[in-house]
Amino acid sequence: MLLPPEAGMPYVRRPADLRLEPGSLTVEDGVIVALEDDPGADVLIDATGGAIVPGFVDCHTHLPFAGWRAEEYEQKVTGVPYEEISRRGGGIASSARALAAASDDEVLDQAREIRTEMLAHGTTTVEAKTGYGLSVEAELRAAGLARRIGDRVTGLFAHSIPAGYDAAGWMDEVDALAARADVDALDIYVESVAFRNEDLARLGEIARREGVPLRAHVEQFNANRSVPVALDAGARSVDHLACLHPDDLAPLAAAECAAVLLPGAEFLGAEQLAPGRALADAGAICVLATDCNPGTSPVLSMPLIVGLAVRRYGWTALEALAACTLNAAWVLGFDDRGSIEVGKRADIVVLDSPVEHLAYRFGRNPIAEVIAA
């Protein structure tokens, strides 16, 4: 059974301190009530030979979306440049058209299917983002749909610059959206083809005004030096980091800001690798997520993400587990889950094999049982 180094920790910077020891627990009314057996319990689960770990927290997905973009993936892997794919109508604009064409029920049905599959892969808490609206009204609709899908809703109003706007002009709309929409955090995509560091700084001010955490997609394809800007703005997380500038690593590791790494997007997009080993060695609050989205990471399996992280970042299984449980819960502002402690929500996964197998038997789903509260 995987236990935190001590009770009440908001996150762990040194996952080697996690305790992996024989044990059992008792669940009552959706809460962990004891770290021992109750022989009189209504249901007994024998986890002999396996492992008991917290339910996975997927803190970075792009649900809700409509349909997939498989044809685009084939173009990408056979060498069609992104600009050409985009010219053929692909990219974020393609997902925006699909979302606009789909009814609420169609979007929700697809999202529920995905959440069911996520649950079967051990994920008990999911973040949802807006971002495929690309207009004020469509982003408000996306926020409403996200509320019905995710356990937390992030307003990624600054995802792509809609036609007819420049970055600053759309940021005026983002400002108004942030005041109107029901979201738990704000997010922005900073990249040469999207928003700039000055927009990130502005979103930081908006997030402060609205009293919600700031998150940011940064350094995915280029080192834009967005991390210092995000840290100045008090960001809760910086996500992607494949092109993190070496000078920004130590300040990030020292900050109370999570490094959310997305190895599924890195692998499927043949991107550079985020410096996962160096971030972990420096004591950063490391987090893993699927980035589940129809464009760059149509992945919903956290065991697969753990397998990628362990192999490609050179992480231990414990480092990967901390990154998709307690640390990911902290990113979403949940202190009631993410670790096995008395009083926490009973979000529990029983693996059918030791924790090291989670990464080692790559691509296999080792989830034997999931208890979601």
Which residues between 240 and 269 bind Zn ion (CB under 5 A)?
none
Q: Which is nearer to Zn ion, 153 or 351 (CB)?
A: 153
Tell me the site size for Zn ion, rule CB under 5 A: 1
Least Å from the CB of residue 62 to Zn ion: 6
Q: Which is nearer to Zn ion, 290 or 339 (CB)?
A: 290
Rounded to whole angstroms, the Cα distance separating 45 from 352 reads 12
Identity of residue 7: A
Least Å from the CB of residue 95 to Zn ion: 12
Which residues between 103 and 122 bind Zn ion (CB under 5 A)?
none
Least Å from the CB of residue 53 to Zn ion: 25
Least Å from the CB of residue 108 to Zn ion: 21
Distances 89 to 84, 135, 147, 346 between C-alpha atoms, Å? 9, 18, 29, 45
Residues 284-303: x where in contact with Zn ion by CB under 5 A, - otherwise, as a string: -------x------------
Q: Which is nearer to Zn ion, 219 or 291 (CB)?
A: 291
DSSP 161-192: --TT--HHHHHHHHHHHHHHS--SEEEEBBST
Least Å from the CB of residue 291 to Zn ion: 5
Q: Which is nearer to Zn ion, 271 or 356 (CB)?
A: 271
Which residue stretch of 11-19, 143-151, 160-168, 283-291 sits at the interface with Zn ion (rule: CB under 5 A)?
283-291
Rounded to whole angstroms, the Cα distance separating 213 from 258 reads 12
β-pairing verdict for 26-28 and 31-34: antiparallel
Q: Which is nearer to Zn ion, 266 or 341 (CB)?
A: 266
Residue 93: CA atoms inside 13 Å, Cβ hemisphere, count? Answer: 12
Nearest by Cα to 350 from 161, 136, 124, 176? 124
Which residues between 166 and 195 bind Zn ion (CB under 5 A)?
none
Q: Which is nearer to Zn ion, 189 or 334 (CB)?
A: 189
Phi-psi region of 49 (alpha: psi -120 to 50; beta: other; left: phi over 0): left
Contacts of residue 172, defined as CB under 8 A and 6 or more positions apart, other chains included, come to: none
Least Å from the CB of residue 337 to Zn ion: 22
Least Å from the CB of residue 266 to Zn ion: 12
Tell me, what DSSP letter sits at residue 214?
A: B
* Nearest-CB residue for Zn ion: 291
Least Å from the CB of residue 293 to Zn ion: 6
Which residues between 308 and 327 bind Zn ion (CB under 5 A)?
none
- Residue owning tokens 């000078």: 247
DSSP 80-126: --HHHHHHTT-SHHHHHHHHHHS-HHHHHHHHHHHHHHHHHTTEEEE
Q: Which is nearer to Zn ion, 1 or 218 (CB)?
A: 218
Site residues (CB under 5 A) for Zn ion? 291
